[in-house]
Structure 1
Amino acid sequence: MYQLYDPIKNVQTPVLFFTGKGGVGKTSVACSTAVSLTDVGKKVLLVSTDPASNLQDVFGIDLTSDPIEVPNVKNLFASNIDPEEAASAYREKTVGPYRDKLPESVVNQMEEQLSGACTVEIAAFDEFSHILANDYILTQYDHVLFDTAPTGHTLRLLSLPTAWNGYLEESTHGASCLGPLSGLGDKKNLYQKAVQALSDDEKTTLILVARPEESTLVEANRASMELRDIGIQNQMMIINGLLQSHVPTDAVSKAFYESQQASLKQIPESLQQMKTLSLPYISYSLTGVNSLRQLVSEHPYIEKEVKSNEIELDQLSELNDVIDDFSTRNTRVIFTMGKGGVGKTSVASAIAVVLSERGHKVHLTTTDPASHLDYIFKNRAVDENLSISSINPETEVETYKKEIITAAGELSEGELSYLKEDLESPCTEEIAVFRAFADVVSRSENEIVVIDTAPTGHTLLLLDSSEAYHKEMNRSTGKIPGNVKELLPRLRDPEETGVVIVTLAEETPVFESTRLQEDLKRAQIVPKWWVINRSLYATGTNDPILKARASSEKQWIKKIEEDLAEQSALIPWTSEVKIGLPTKTYV
């Protein structure tokens, strides 16, 4: 369907940005591209700003923010900029001068305001701007490859003149990115030069990496449109992990192949017009130079199974055990949390349905588009004990924005533009939806409430003071609803609330879930269960490629069980969302 990606033929510009949803293989594709280009005599600098990057493991060397030459690969230099460390340094630069001058409680609140995704994003942009805007560096290399690109929101925000004037210090309107932006200082010219380089079609190509799965294609489309809006037009897409063939007699293999093909038929129309290439689904770990070369070769298949001790599947907990626990304990509020694409909605739906079938009154709600719940339940009669709703983030955010802008009063055109762009921040959506969560959770007096996705620990801590509540939750009315005041204590009560982290048995989802758990623990919320979803290992497939891939899951299943989770359960891979308890039926 799609031609194989060949870096030698397909790379046309000196600067490449690889972007896409977590776990799609950005780092692997970037590394394979870098090695392939050096093999034909190009000098390449590979820079990762992805917090989930395993660049060091791929090449088997220790990396820092200073580039070093990769052993056994002539002319390849690599650096690994940890955005969390960059954000920490950025945070200290901003907060440090106030430590001995302001009360500790105020300093702590400043630090928390600078703990969110916006700060990490801006700090990462600050790091690679020093490379992208440095003419000397760009003349030293034939190609500079960045693993992870900035979001359109960050680029738009930094391009507004108001972001660089006294409005940042003088504003009392509580824009959610004011904290992160307060440390920018006098870097306007540097950032403008970086943004110009990104928008230069002769210099930069944006490579969208996706899997043949609906959620990653939707994310690629969103990122593509967002970045086109600010002038980054030179884009291409790579579909990574495409199963080239299947074993017709293996139910899992057949269903896996057909599921991918069905997803590709649903590619958003705007992406269909884009140059799109593919890379095959592989059975081996992409570590070491040889495996990276193999990925982009004409014959990329290496079928080898990871040899390690087997896991006794009959000794692992199942989703039924999770539901039994909540039913027995009469848990009143249940959250499913995790990164996009891991199956939070399907897990939440299964929990809600089975609890209702056991006689509990249950209310299920989600922040995913309503059509997703509609899809899950389209051929199923809803039990009389189960009610369903959907919190629409777009509606909540628009209402919230209008309140903030109205409360801001008279603003200049520049100030209004800045405030509107600031309200495009991910923080804004989280805070706006938080209010709707509070309303739903208050129903737990009379029924079990199952909620797909919840505010992060960062947002909860940011709101955990009367000053922050006033600023972030009710800037328009000046008073705090009672159900909002009661929400955080309720979430922290393990007798009342259960949090389920949903993940996949893969490196990036496990890494991101670990960060999520740490984030929640800072807010004094301890997840009750981890659910490992869509496990190939649990299917018993005999397809050579899928079986080898399934064996690689074992290390992550063991890590979750032994190191990360208080309790964990395993759900087998299936091609369709199943309502109720999953079974080994793959079609």
Structure 2
Amino acid sequence: MKQEIHFVTGKGGVGKSVIAAALALKLSKKGKKVLLVELGDQSFFKDFFELADVSFQPQEVKPNLSLALWTGESALREYAQYLIKVESLAKLFFDNAVMKAFINIAPGLPELAMLGKITSGPRKYGPPMNYDCLVIDAFATGHFKALIEAPRGMAQAVQIGPMGEQSRSIISVLKNPEVTSYHIVSLPEELPLKESTELAEVLKTELDADAELVMNKVLDVNIPRESLQQAESATTSDLGLFAQYIEQQLDRQAQMMDQAKTKFKKITKVPLYFETDPWKLVEKAMEKLP
């Protein structure tokens, strides 16, 4: 079985982390061994799920579902230790001032290291990861563009040698639709949808990938339009104003969905849930994912 990689991204504030967790939970309930990975220096899930800690080493949070937090530096350290084989030498290599300065200024190196770690399973390079699926709670749209563009930039800058070879092998995995999927989370609002569309175009241009759009927090009202209009016309009270607001929101949502359908082949709608329990919220979102 080929290892699956699912990237989940979206504009900040659209709920991409909850959707990533929902996707990871859904895959785990299908009997697959899943690793949900956060990228960056801080963990959203630590506070969200009230965990003691989230670190580079995976920890199981549900049956078949583990969680980890990866940074560029942690991925580079593991890669160096894998190559050097001696932990003390790898530590010495990274803890000197010259190497730290190089990591900080080298364009795209942290992003390349993270992608190298993410794609190491299909490439059969680096420490083994015994998971059927990786769900990557990736950066927001702007930083995600820099992430996926990093290996191409390195491959162009370094034409020969292991760095260029590794960069090209990463690109190959990112382009393989049998291995890698892209899920862009948006809200039914103009700015998030605009950023989602722009990112989808980048993914198509860079990787020939067709991203799925997950339209999150969709207002799902089981009230006939006639009833809303009657409430508006029958009273000028708060109820009438609220009915007017709901109708305007539904009209706006419909407009955004029509725009989305012209840009995305696959769209999944997840309703707005008023749920305070984090795992119940994730489970409800999971039920709406294909």
Instruction: State TM-score, norm by structure 2.
Output: 0.71
Matched, 1:188 2:164: yes
The structure having more radius of gyration, on CA atoms, is 1
- 1:59 and 1:48 map into 2 onto residues whose CA distance is 13
Q: CA deviation at 1:255?
A: 2.0
**Which of 255, 275, 279 is matched with 1:284 structurally?**
275
- Structure 1: gaps spanning 5 or more residues: 1-11, 100-106, 167-184, 299-587
Q: Which residue identity lines up with residue 133 of structure 2 in the other structure?
A: H
**Which of 58, 61, 69 is matched with 1:67 structurally?**
58
Distance change in 2, residues 1:52/1:27 (3 Å): farther
Structure 2 SS opposite 1:148: strand
- 2:221 and 2:128 map into 1 onto residues whose CA distance is 41
- 2:132 and 2:75 map into 1 onto residues whose CA distance is 27
Distance change in 2, residues 1:127/1:98 (3 Å): closer
Question: 1:210·1:238 contact (CA, 8 Å) conserved in 2?
Answer: yes
- 1:156 and 1:124 map into 2 onto residues whose CA distance is 9
Structure 1 SS opposite 2:287: coil
Q: CA deviation at 1:50?
A: 4.9
Structure 2 SS opposite 1:23: coil
Matched, 1:159 2:180: no
- 1:13 and 1:134 map into 2 onto residues whose CA distance is 7
**Which of 23, 30, 52 is matched with 1:40 structurally?**
30
Question: 1:49·1:146 contact (CA, 8 Å) conserved in 2?
Answer: yes
Q: CA deviation at 1:133?
A: 2.4
Question: 1:47·1:79 contact (CA, 8 Å) conserved in 2?
Answer: yes
Distance change in 2, residues 1:271/1:195 (3 Å): farther
Number of the residue aligned with 1:516? none
Question: Which one scores higher on RCO, CA 8 angstroms, separation ≥ 6?
Answer: 2
Distance change in 2, residues 1:191/1:94 (3 Å): farther
Q: Which residue identity lines up with residue 291 of structure 1 in the other structure?
A: L
**Which of 244, 259, 274 is matched with 2:220 structurally?**
244
- 1:236 and 1:69 map into 2 onto residues whose CA distance is 27
Question: 1:213·1:263 contact (CA, 8 Å) conserved in 2?
Answer: yes
Number of the residue aligned with 2:133? 143
Q: Which residue identity lines up with residue 193 of structure 2 in the other structure?
A: L
Q: CA deviation at 1:264?
A: 4.4
Q: Which residue identity lines up with residue 56 of structure 1 in the other structure?
A: K
- 2:272 and 2:151 map into 1 onto residues whose CA distance is 38
Question: 1:246·1:253 contact (CA, 8 Å) conserved in 2?
Answer: no
**Which of 217, 227, 240 is matched with 2:203 structurally?**
227
Number of the residue aligned with 2:45? 55
Question: What is the number of residues matched between the two proteins?
Answer: 251
Question: 2:3·2:132 contact (CA, 8 Å) conserved in 1?
Answer: no
RMSD, aligned α-carbons:
3.9
Distance change in 2, residues 1:255/1:154 (3 Å): same
Structure 1 SS opposite 2:182: strand
Q: CA deviation at 1:67?
A: 1.1
Q: CA deviation at 1:86?
A: 7.2
Number of the residue aligned with 1:275? 266
Distance change in 2, residues 1:130/1:83 (3 Å): closer
Question: 2:211·2:264 contact (CA, 8 Å) conserved in 1?
Answer: no
Q: Which residue identity lines up with residue 63 of structure 2 in the other structure?
A: K
Question: 1:132·1:194 contact (CA, 8 Å) conserved in 2?
Answer: yes
Q: CA deviation at 1:155?
A: 3.6
Q: CA deviation at 1:203?
A: 1.0
Structure 2 SS opposite 1:187: helix
- 1:47 and 1:238 map into 2 onto residues whose CA distance is 19
**Deviation digits for residues 340-394 of structure 1, max 9, x if unmatched?**
xxxxxxxxxxxxxxxxxxxxxxxxxxxxxxxxxxxxxxxxxxxxxxxxxxxxxxx
Task: State the identity as a percent.
Answer: 20
Number of the residue aligned with 1:76? 65
- 1:261 and 1:53 map into 2 onto residues whose CA distance is 36
| Higher helix content, 1 or 2 | 2
Question: 2:3·2:131 contact (CA, 8 Å) conserved in 1?
Answer: no
Number of the residue aligned with 1:127? 114
Question: 1:83·1:124 contact (CA, 8 Å) conserved in 2?
Answer: yes
Question: 2:184·2:214 contact (CA, 8 Å) conserved in 1?
Answer: yes
- 1:86 and 1:256 map into 2 onto residues whose CA distance is 47
Structure 1 SS opposite 2:27: helix
Number of the residue aligned with 2:97? 96
**Deviation digits for residues 4-50 of structure 1, max 9, x if unmatched?**
xxxxxxxx982211111011111100101111222232211111115
Alignment of 1:19-34 (within 5 A): 19-34=9-24
Distance change in 2, residues 1:122/1:214 (3 Å): farther
Instruction: State TM-score, norm by structure 1.
Output: 0.37
Which segment is superposed worse, 253-262 or 192-201?
A: 253-262
